[in-house]
Amino acid sequence: MGLFDKFKEVTRKVSEVEHNIYHEKRDYLEIYERNLELEKEIAERTEELNDANKRMFTLQHIWDMMNSSTPLENVLEAIVNSTQGELGYMHCVIIKKCTDEDGEFMRILAQSNDALIDRLNSLIGPPGIQTRRLNYASESVFADTMRQRTIIQTKSIDLSLEAVLPDLSKEIVSKILSNQPIRSVIVVPLVAQKKEFGWFCVFSAREELASAEMDFLGLFAKQIEMAITIADLFQAVREQAVTDALTGLYNRRYFEEALEKEVQRAKRQKQPFSIIGIDLDYLKKINDTYGHSYGDLAIKTIAEVLKANARSVDVSARIGGEEFNVLLPGINSEGAMIAAERIRKSIENAEIDTVGHITGSLGVATYFEHSENVEELLELTDQAMYTSKREGRNRVTLAKPISETYWQEIAVNTFIDILSKNRIPKAKHLSKELCQKLKATNKDEVSKEALYTVADMLTKIYNPMHTSGIIKKKVQMAVSLAKRFDLPKEDIDNLRVAVLLYDIGNLMLPSDLLQKATPLTDEERETIKNHPIIAARDILKPISYIQDVLPIIEHHHENWDGSGYPNKISKEAIPLTSQIILIIDEYFALIEQRPYRAKLSGKDALEIIKTDMGKKWNENLVREFISLIEHDIV
């Protein structure tokens, strides 16, 4: 090979090496560029993943709040602040679409706390935007999103602001938006349970809305709609728990809770409050004459009257049946009587189709003035209401303090309470008749006769041999005996009531046991010994205004020497009024016919009583009792 040929060969090899190097460099550059693109893509995907994680975290936080008892306003506040803070928006707000007599408008429910809103409020002046009535324009981004049910992004921030606050000058709008990084507003319509609720709005520094961001905001809106739906369901359940279904008023449960809170407030602030009790007159007559639908209409009519006459702080409730209560915070008896009379007139003036006019009987009682015991106050309200019924209906009666209430009023209302609430199952068949007898009376003497009649009829249930008129004699004898010991009027009045009620516990015992002609077993005797406890604790204890009567009844079988029952107390530990009942009960038991023996004469009965002086009774009590019988004072 010549020199020239060698040179060509070397040149060829050099070219081949250069060619290989070039291709390897190009491959390397391609790999490098691909790596750069891959790194960029990884960074983008990582950023997207971080954003997705933030969004998922935000959604999880909101979901947790939605599934708790957190109020809706707190959930919405969390949504706007999370969106603004965690997802990088400049400002977030949830707006509700509202309607009133002046038309449609918008109101801010929640907004993020940031410099933008502080700047806006400082420029528009008080009140701040959150408390303002915002204009709803049919030609606006808000109306467009709601009509189209789609998310809209607008760069015309000034026009959006002018639409909701048309009174703002362009100069103020310009100041609000100047030197702000906001480039667009994204408006998302909110529709909960197929009803137009409002909008979720975010203020963004970006002019364009990415499809992923659009999808996320749509998902976020669904969460807001779900939160609204859940809140509505919670509210509906709560209202059902505290609201009367027929009238829409509060129910007894809510009234009692409100009353308990008001008692604490009254004690703390040393201010009275009053209760008005209302009872619809002649509901039974309305039901019997026109049908129960008209009875319900009458009840709803009273409810509407109460709603129309109530202050925002008053609590009107349907307690049950045709009975209502109104709690008047901070109102004394004078103010309550004025309010009650206004309610009475409104009820009387209301006219119902077919039925015509209706009326109500009302009672008023005031905390501090009539009683500082809330249960007693409610009972006094009921007593005053029943007094209105007995005295002719369609009137208002102010309660008397418990010390000034006539004993027969207490007794009448006690019997009505026992009978109307079926506290004694055996008397259920007579309850309606006896209640009518008691409610129909309107004079003191007639009221007493009704009481004696009712007590006699109840006694005949467990003692068919009972003679009518005996209860009246027992009361008269007890009063005469008590006066011999100079007992105060309050004690004597309590004794009158106790004489009417002391054996009522027998109505809860087996009838065959009380009428048994053969000797009782030990077990049967122990059962009968329970009747004072049954009367005092089971039947009468729920009635707060006769609590002073209960010890008299509970101890009326205690003996002077401690051999009695149920507590085996003795001597002065036994109320004198209980001893009076015991000796009178023994005397009449001896002179009345019994299944297991014939009746005794009065003289023989007194001889038996004498033998137990110092054992069953105080000796002074026996002497005064014998003197009373022998002189025929009764």
Whether residue 128 has pLDDT greater than 70: yes
Domains 247-405 and 417-634 belong to one CATH topology = no
Please tell me the predicted confidence (pLDDT) of residue 480: 83
Q: Mean per-residue pLDDT for 88-117? A: 84
**Among candidate residues 361, 352, 348, 240, the one with its CA nearest the CA of residue 295:** 352
Whether residue 604 has pLDDT greater than 60: yes
CB-based burial, 289-306: b 16+ in 10 Å, e otherwise: ebeeebbebbbbbbbebb
> Using CA atoms, how far apart are residues 190 and 223, in angstroms rounded to an integer?
10
**Which one is predicted more confidently, 216 or 200?**
200
pLDDT > 90 in the chain, percent = 23
Please tell me the predicted confidence (pLDDT) of residue 60: 59
The architecture in CATH of the region 417-634 reads Orthogonal Bundle (1.10)
Please tell me the predicted confidence (pLDDT) of residue 38: 64
90: pLDDT confidence band, cut at 50, 70 and 90? Answer: confident
Which residues are registered as beta bridge partners of 203?
Answer: 91, 185
Whether residue 275 has pLDDT greater than 90: yes
The answer to whether 134 and 164 have CB atoms below 8 angstroms apart is yes
445 is catalytic: no
Whether residue 474 has pLDDT greater than 60: yes
583: pLDDT confidence band, cut at 50, 70 and 90? Answer: very high
Topology adopted by domain 247-405: Alpha-Beta Plaits (3.30.70)
Neighbours of 397 (CB within 10 A): 23
- Angle, alpha carbons 522-526-528 (nearest 5°): 120
Q: Mean per-residue pLDDT for 274-286? A: 92
Please tell me the predicted confidence (pLDDT) of residue 71: 66
Q: Mean per-residue pLDDT for 296-321? A: 92
Whether residue 62 has pLDDT greater than 70: no
- The CA–CA distances, whole Å, from 72 to 68, 121, 128, 194, 235 equal 10, 24, 21, 19, 10
CA 294 to chain centre: 27
Please tell me the predicted confidence (pLDDT) of residue 444: 45
634: pLDDT confidence band, cut at 50, 70 and 90? Answer: very low
Whether residue 338 has pLDDT greater than 60: yes
Whether residue 66 has pLDDT greater than 60: no
Long-range pairs for 450-458 at CB < 8 Å and ≥24 separation? Answer: 450/412, 451/408, 451/411, 451/412, 451/415, 451/500, 454/415, 455/415, 455/500, 455/501, 457/430, 458/424, 458/427, 458/430, 458/434, 458/504, 458/507
Please tell me the predicted confidence (pLDDT) of residue 516: 67
Whether residue 208 has pLDDT greater than 60: yes
- Run of H or E residues at 202: strand 195-204
Instruction: For the chain, give every domain's residue range.
Output: 1-51, 89-211, 247-405, 417-634
Whether residue 441 has pLDDT greater than 70: no
Whether residue 445 has pLDDT greater than 50: no
Q: What would the two tokens of residue 629 be?
A: 């019988």
Neighbours of 585 (CB within 10 A): 17
Please tell me the predicted confidence (pLDDT) of residue 30: 66
* Least confident residue range of 96-100, 343-347, 404-408: 404-408
Whether residue 508 has pLDDT greater than 80: no
- In the set 213, 322, 323, 554, the catalytic residue is 322
The answer to whether 453 and 440 have CB atoms below 8 angstroms apart is no
Whether residue 326 has pLDDT greater than 90: yes
The architecture in CATH of the region 89-211 reads 2-Layer Sandwich (3.30)
Q: What would the two tokens of residue 84 be?
A: 């603004």
Q: Which amino acid is at 94?
A: I
Whether residue 482 has pLDDT greater than 50: yes
Mean pLDDT, the chain, as a whole number? 81
**Among candidate residues 235, 252, 236, 256, the one with its CA nearest the CA of residue 244:** 252
Please tell me the predicted confidence (pLDDT) of residue 594: 72
Q: Mean per-residue pLDDT for 558-575? A: 91
Q: Mean per-residue pLDDT for 225-252? A: 74
> Using CA atoms, how far apart are residues 213 and 184, in angstroms rounded to an integer?
14
Which of the listed ranges 19-33, 169-183, 400-414, 599-613 does the model predict with the highest average pLDDT? Answer: 599-613
**Where do we find the tokens 């051999």?**
563
**Which one is predicted more confidently, 625 or 519?**
625
Whether residue 308 has pLDDT greater than 80: yes
Please tell me the predicted confidence (pLDDT) of residue 600: 87
Please tell me the predicted confidence (pLDDT) of residue 47: 61
290: pLDDT confidence band, cut at 50, 70 and 90? Answer: very high
331: pLDDT confidence band, cut at 50, 70 and 90? Answer: very high
Which of the listed ranges 288-297, 451-460, 542-551, 593-602 does the model predict with the highest average pLDDT? Answer: 288-297
